[in-house]
Chain A
Amino acid sequence: MLGYHRLNILLLVLCLASPLAWSADETGKAAELPPVTITANNPAREVGYHIGDILTRTVTLKVSDQYQILPTSLPIPGNQKRYRNKEQGIEIYASKLSESHRDGQNIYTLELSYQVFTSSIVAKPAALPPEFVKFSGNGKQFQVRIPSWNFRISPLAVYGSVNVSKDMSPLRGPLLISADKHRQTMVAALAILSLSLLGLLYILGNRAWLPRMGGPFARAYREVRKTSADNTGLETAISRLHQAFKQSCGQSVFSADEIIQLKPAFTPLKDDIERFFRLSRAVFFDSAEQGTPDNPNPWLRQFSRRCRDIERGMK
């Protein structure tokens, strides 16, 4: 019984040891070849290539700086790989090598361009073929394989007519007619219609969004508030109020009586309007004019606000 157990343990040990031994053997083999890191930057899409198209892939090879690439091993432009003595229709169009050195490694960047010289009436699988480049150094020479890259070559034209209804694949799903363009057109038309209606409303509303809003004195009041406290600001404020009276009355006006005759709503402001005209005369025409406000700028702001209130129907 004890012997049987020893046999089992021995078998178990043998079973566990044999893969390790194989692994050690493989590691020893790999250690013989210097490590070359291969990175391939391939075209973004794999389909939709036609005859004449040029595909470019960039391959980066990193190797210890004890080894150098052999330029004679690089792919030669014009070459075409054969498979079973038959040309594959993918020809090397250009091959460009650049190199740099960093962190004790030689970095080779190989830019390979291939041109498609084959076509078919149906989509055809193809591949940028594997390439082999050689390195030498440290008394050794070895080659590495740049892996191939698969893609599809599309036909230039579909042969014969295609009846979609006979090609009802459940995997494909129903064919939908895109309504995006019509939806966008409708949205744009609705937007234009809305803007037009808003514009019409604004125009019919005497260029104001709300009744009695945005009148000449409301605009004048906003501007008068912003005028500076110097003489220029005073002149600007008075001119602005004259404009407002002109717009409100529909003509140039030169006295309080004229304004009240045209706009009786301003009757409560008659005294102030007369003071305003006296101030205007003093500023623009006759400096000897009497009866002007002591602090004209604040007074004008207050006056324009009262005019705006009258304009809005307030007493």
Chain B
Amino acid sequence: MSDRQLDDWRAQALQLENEVNQVVVGQAGAVRLITTAIFARGHVLLEGDVGVGKTTLLRAFTRGIGGGYQRVEGTIDLMPNDLVYHTYLGDDGRPHVSPGPLLSHGTNLSVFFFNEINRARPQVHSLLLRVMAERTLSAFNREHHFPHMLVFADRNQVEKEETFEIPSAARDRFMMEIPIVVPANIDTMESLIFDTRFHDVDALVDKVAPGILQFDGLNEVAALIQSSIQASPTLRRYTLDLWLATRSPADYGLKVEGVDIKRLVIAGASPRGIAMMMRAARVNAWLNGREAVLPEDIHTVFHETIAHRMVFNPIYEMRRTEIARELLSQTIRTISAA
């Protein structure tokens, strides 16, 4: 695959971004991050209040990527086998077993959309651990592969009733956790209220051209991006410093108001997490037409790839979002790149 093809892929990626931005307004940052995750082959978790457009955003991307698409709703009674198969009585009056959401598209599954993931039980989270990490599943006495699959999930943190906190091991499988907030622009807010095209979500999502990206070529282009975008020795050193600062912030002089920094972090970013951060930074550099990663590329993806991996002392867990954002901002403001 040549540089020209990389340019073609970039044009398609920017077209996808553009189309989604037409449908979901005021979320350009989140759209760029999801595009980044798609080309870095990372799973995405959206987090935000109810009705802010998380599901619409993911559906719009799903349509643009093309390939097999499945969606499940997280419920308290959802069990792992509900994702793998379902049984029913056929017209012939006999029991039948058919593939569940994960298996129905075979290897062509490109997007597995898990809505309200925190409503599902830990058993389901466990199944997802393997599917997300290895893109394989053992069922019906054989191994099933999903080489092109990305998991898009969303959750809202407002509701705590009948929900299960996603364990840190499962959170770590997601490349990014992207916060979705109500757009701050007054005009955008007004159009969301009065523009009727935003009221019919199905019609809105259908405006995204289907299959803008060739889903089964994404793995190849992703590998090419990772191998062709360079990281200089200075940037490597800078990334290492950032990582170490997330693990022992007190050693780097980081401070968060009202927090005992020495007791705050139980575990910083994992090696897998920082590697995913670097993958995303490379894709961001590529999307911006560069051949090497800059510190700004890291900053663009730093919060969304690292914050959800931090394991804090339980006494600070209630203020997790606020503390993580402040801590990581402090990290960027404190560590020198060159």
Chain A residues at the B interface, C-beta cutoff of 8 Å = 238-239, 242-243, 246, 251-252, 254-255, 280-281, 284-288
Of the listed residues A238, A254, A285, the one surrounded by the most CB atoms of chain B closer than 10 A to its CB is: A285
A268 CB → nearest B CB, Å: 24
Interchain CA distance A264-B296 in the complex, whole Å = 22
Residues of A within 8 A of B335 (CB): 252
- The residue from A251, A284, A287, A288 contacting B337, defined by CB atoms under 8 A apart: A284
B196 on interface, CB distance cutoff 8 Å: no
- The residue from B230, B232, B291, B337 contacting A254, defined by CB atoms under 8 A apart: B337
A-facing mask of B263-278, CB < 8 A → 1, else 0? Answer: 0000000000000000
Of the listed residues A238, A252, A255, the one surrounded by the most CB atoms of chain B closer than 10 A to its CB is: A252
Residues of A within 8 A of B333 (CB): 251-252
Residues of A within 8 A of B299 (CB): 254
Q: Across the two chains, which residue of chain B brings its CB closest to A287?
A: B292
Q: Across the two chains, which residue of chain B brings its CB closest to A235?
A: B338
Residues of A within 8 A of B293 (CB): 285
Q: A285-B294, A288-B291 are in contact. Are A246 and B336 (CB under 8 A)?
A: yes
- Assess whether A252 is in contact with B294, with CB atoms less than 8 Å apart: no
Q: A254-B296, A254-B299 are in contact. Are A284 and B235 (CB under 8 A)?
A: yes
Residues of B within 8 A of A286 (CB): 230, 232, 290-292, 294
Q: How many residues of B are counted as interface, with CB atoms below 8 angstroms from the partner's CB atoms?
A: 19
- Assess whether B338 is in contact with A251, with CB atoms less than 8 Å apart: no
Of the listed residues A239, A251, A284, the one surrounded by the most CB atoms of chain B closer than 10 A to its CB is: A284
- Assess whether A242 is in contact with B295, with CB atoms less than 8 Å apart: no
- Assess whether A242 is in contact with B338, with CB atoms less than 8 Å apart: yes
- Assess whether B337 is in contact with A242, with CB atoms less than 8 Å apart: yes
B18 on interface, CB distance cutoff 8 Å: no
Residues of A within 8 A of B294 (CB): 281, 285-286
Q: Across the two chains, which residue of chain A brings its CB closest to B285?
A: A286
Residues of B within 8 A of A246 (CB): 336
Residues of A within 8 A of B295 (CB): 254, 285
Interchain CA distance A251-B332 in the complex, whole Å = 9
Interchain CA distance A285-B336 in the complex, whole Å = 14
- The residue from A255, A280, A287, A288 contacting B338, defined by CB atoms under 8 A apart: A280
A256 CB → nearest B CB, Å: 13
B292 CB → nearest A CB, Å: 4
- B289-311 residues with Cβ-Cβ distance < 8 A to A are 290-296, 299
A65 CB → nearest B CB, Å: 87
- Assess whether A285 is in contact with B234, with CB atoms less than 8 Å apart: yes
Q: Across the two chains, which residue of chain A brings its CB closest to B338?
A: A284
Q: Across the two chains, which residue of chain A brings its CB closest to B294?
A: A285
Interchain CA distance A252-B335 in the complex, whole Å = 7
B52 CB → nearest A CB, Å: 29
B191 on interface, CB distance cutoff 8 Å: no
- Assess whether A242 is in contact with B336, with CB atoms less than 8 Å apart: yes
B228 on interface, CB distance cutoff 8 Å: no
Residues of B within 8 A of A239 (CB): 338
Q: Across the two chains, which residue of chain A brings its CB closest to B237?
A: A284
B321 on interface, CB distance cutoff 8 Å: no
Residues of B within 8 A of A285 (CB): 232, 234-235, 292-295
B168 on interface, CB distance cutoff 8 Å: no
B126 on interface, CB distance cutoff 8 Å: no
Interchain CA distance A284-B335 in the complex, whole Å = 16
A–B pairs, 19, beta carbons within 8 Å:
A238-B338, A239-B338, A243-B336, A251-B334, A252-B332, A252-B334, A252-B336, A254-B296, A280-B338, A284-B232, A285-B232, A285-B234, A285-B295, A286-B230, A286-B290, A286-B291, A286-B294, A287-B292, A288-B291
